[in-house]
Each structure stands twice: as C-alpha cells, then as structure tokens.
C-alpha cells in the first residue's frame, strides 16, 4: 500500500471512441487526485464490427502507448475490447494491472422480479468468453435476452443523443426486450450511458437501467490503492490528458458536450501497428479545468 505522501498511480483509460468517457466521468468523481490519460481510438471506431484478433492487436498497441505516456494501471473502458482482449492483455503484460468492463448481469439477476433481464451490447461483446462466463456464474436462474445494437455507437459518436434517428433506433432495439417482459436492462457498452435518458424514457419506470461505470471506477480505486510502484514522473497529481486517433477538434467538442469540460486534445496515429503521439495533449490540472 502506498503511503499518504506517495505519488498516486496514473490511470490510463481507452475506448474505441467517446463511450469510455462515461467511465472516465466516474473515475474523475471517485479518484480526483489521480493523474488520468484517456485515449479514444476513433480511427477504428466502432470495435463491435471488428474481429476478436483485430481488437486484440488494437488493444495491445493502445496499452503500449498508455504505458509510454506514464500509465501505471489501465482501465479498458470498452465492453467490446474487454471481452476480446482483457485476459489476453493480462497474459501479455503480467506486471501491468488491468481493469475491464463486463455487463452487469449479476446485479440484474439479483434484482429482477420477472425473471427476465435484458442486455444490450455489440456483437463482439456477446461472442467473447467473458459474457459466457457471466451467464454461467450469475444467470442460471433467470432468462437473459440479448440485443445487438449496431446503430447506437455511431449515434453517440455523432452526438445524436436525443435525435429522431436515435429515438427510432432505441425503440426498435428495445421493443423485443420489452415484449419479453424484462424488468432489468443492462447497458453492455460504455457508449450507451450517454443515451440513458432516452433509454429510460422508452422503457418506462418499471424497468431498471443498470450502468456498470460506477462499479468499474470502484474497482479501479481498489487496484490503484494496491499499487506501490513509483511513478515515472511524467504526470502530476490530478492531471488529465486526452488523446484521439481521429479528429481532435471533433473529440474536443464531444468532451465538452458529454462531460461539460473544455479540454485540449492530443493526436495519436497508427504507424505499422504502433501507436505514436503526433501532437502532445495539453496537461490539465483537473481541479482547474474550465467547465
């Protein structure tokens, strides 16, 4: 356990795009003094339509990038990447702590009154061993209804959180689950919490919507508290950096829309399978960041 005066571990987070900002938001709330680095791989969004092998290669390149930027532990703020690459990354980087995402099947199974729970996610999330393990461990006594929602990630990336197109897509995807009688709905993609107001409006008051981001932030806090390795001195306490492999200006606007923060964004580019910073991120002391 680090002492009270020891440097706090830097936490790296990544997602295919803006979805992981829903996890970053919770980590910022629970661990405001920790240095944070966020990478959005928007050059390759969405991950849900890619093969497991391709996602693993992307996740490994991002892991190397975040470690080079000074991260001491890594949060895979993406359900798809967690399903495809969490166990694989832990084997490849045994000295690096990883915190992954998993659909919140356990609390949904514990709380359901009808015995029917719904999970919305990408196809890759449902294909991974992680989801099968969740069903085996926690959902033997309930019916789990799954729904792939390919349109939702692009809608969130485009900032369409309550547009007519977003409403139609949410209604279409959730209709089979509501017909099946689900009373618990698990958000199995980190993009989906930004659609939560719309989702809750569509499902009504009789269906509880579960976002796993707060639980992931609590796990990151537990892992960070166990880290005793000193920092490399690359980040200061409370510092926040953003990177994207896509359009930095567009990502900057998304950060302001989704988090209410004005932040500079650095650029990173894929070169022969390696991720390198082409424009360094502005280092923001979180407590002083403009709203």
What would the pLDDT profile of 52-89 be if each residue is shown by its tens digit? 899 999 999 999 999 999 999 999 999 999 999 999 99
Domain that holds residue 197: 105-209
Q: How many domains does the chain have?
A: 2
Q: Are residues 204 and 224 in the same domain?
A: no
CATH of the domain at 185: 3.40.50.1860
What would the pLDDT profile of 147-175 be if each residue is shown by its tens digit? 999 999 999 999 999 999 999 999 999 99
Q: Are residues 97 and 110 in the same domain?
A: no
For tokens 């996890």, the residue is: 23
Complete DSSP assignment for 128-194: SHHHHHHHHHH-TTSEEEEEE-TTHHHHHHTT-SSSHHHHHHHHHHHHHHHHTT-SEEEE-STTGGG
CA angle at 126 for the pair 82 and 93, rounded to the nearest 5°: 20
Query: Phi and psi at residue 30, in whole multiples of 5°?
Result: -85, -25
Report, as residue numbers or ranges, the catalytic residues.
Answer: 78, 189
Q: Are residues 123 and 48 in the same domain?
A: no
Residue 141's closest CA among 186, 108, 101? 108
- Confirm whether 236 is domain-assigned: yes
Of the residues 155, 183, 209, which one is the last residue of a structural domain? 209
- Confirm whether 5 is domain-assigned: no
- Confirm whether 270 is domain-assigned: yes
Q: Are residues 18 and 95 in the same domain?
A: yes
At residue 3 the predicted structure's pLDDT band, cuts being 50, 70 and 90, is very low
- Confirm whether 81 is domain-assigned: yes
Determine if the pTM surpasses 0.85: yes
Q: Are residues 198 and 117 in the same domain?
A: yes
How far does Cα 280 stand from its chain's mean position? 22
Q: Are residues 222 and 95 in the same domain?
A: yes
At residue 280 the predicted structure's pLDDT band, cuts being 50, 70 and 90, is confident
Q: Are residues 16 and 149 in the same domain?
A: no
Q: Are residues 238 and 283 in the same domain?
A: yes
Question: pLDDT over 90 for what percent of the chain?
Answer: 81
Q: Are residues 197 and 127 in the same domain?
A: yes
Query: How high does pLDDT run on average in the chain?
Result: 91
Q: Are residues 90 and 112 in the same domain?
A: no
Q: Are residues 19 and 112 in the same domain?
A: no
Query: How far apart, in whole angstroms, are the C-alpha atoms of residue 270 and residue 62?
Result: 10
- Confirm whether 3 is domain-assigned: no
Of the residues 209, 238, 271, which one is the last residue of a structural domain? 209
Q: Are residues 37 and 116 in the same domain?
A: no
Residues whose CB is less than 8 angstroms from the CB of residue 3 and which lie 6 or more positions away in sequence, other chains included: none
Of the residues 209, 244, 259, which one is the last residue of a structural domain? 209
For residue 69, give both structure tokens: 């930027």
- Confirm whether 2 is domain-assigned: no
């Amino acid at each position: 356990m680090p002492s009270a005066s020891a440097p706090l571990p830097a936490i790296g987070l990544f997602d295919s795009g803006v979805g992981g900002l829903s996890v970053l938001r919770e980590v910022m709330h629970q661990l405001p003094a920790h240095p944070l680095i966020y990478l959005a791989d928007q050059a390759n969004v969405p991950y849900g339509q890619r093969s497991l092998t391709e996602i693993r290669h992307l996740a490994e390149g991002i892991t190397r990038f975040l470690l080079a930027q000074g991260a001491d532990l890594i949060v895979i703020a993406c359900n798809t990447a967690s399903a495809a690459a969490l166990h694989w990354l832990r084997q490849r980087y045994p000295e690096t702590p990883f915190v992954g995402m998993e659909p919140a099947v356990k609390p949904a199974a514990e709380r359901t009154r009808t015995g029917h729970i719904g999970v919305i996610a990408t196809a890759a999330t449902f294909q991974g061993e992680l989801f099968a393990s969740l069903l085996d461990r926690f959902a033997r006594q309930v019916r789990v209804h799954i729904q792939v929602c390919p349109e939702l990630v692009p809608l969130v990336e485009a900032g369409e959180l309550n547009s007519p197109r977003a409403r139609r897509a949410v209604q279409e995807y959730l209709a089979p689950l509501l017909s099946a009688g689900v009373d618990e709905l698990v958000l199995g993609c980190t993009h989906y919490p930004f659609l939560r107001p719309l989702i809750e409006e569509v499902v009504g008051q009789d269906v509880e919507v579960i976002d796993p981001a707060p639980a992931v932030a609590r796990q990151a806090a537990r892992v960070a508290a166990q880290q005793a390795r000193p920092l490399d001195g690359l980040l200061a306490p409370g510092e926040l950096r953003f990177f994207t492999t896509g359009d930095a200006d567009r990502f900057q606007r998304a950060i302001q829309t989704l988090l209410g923060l004005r932040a500079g964004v650095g650029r990173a580019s894929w070169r022969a399978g390696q991720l390198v910073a082409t424009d360094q991120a502005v280092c923001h002391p979180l407590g002083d960041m403009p709203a």
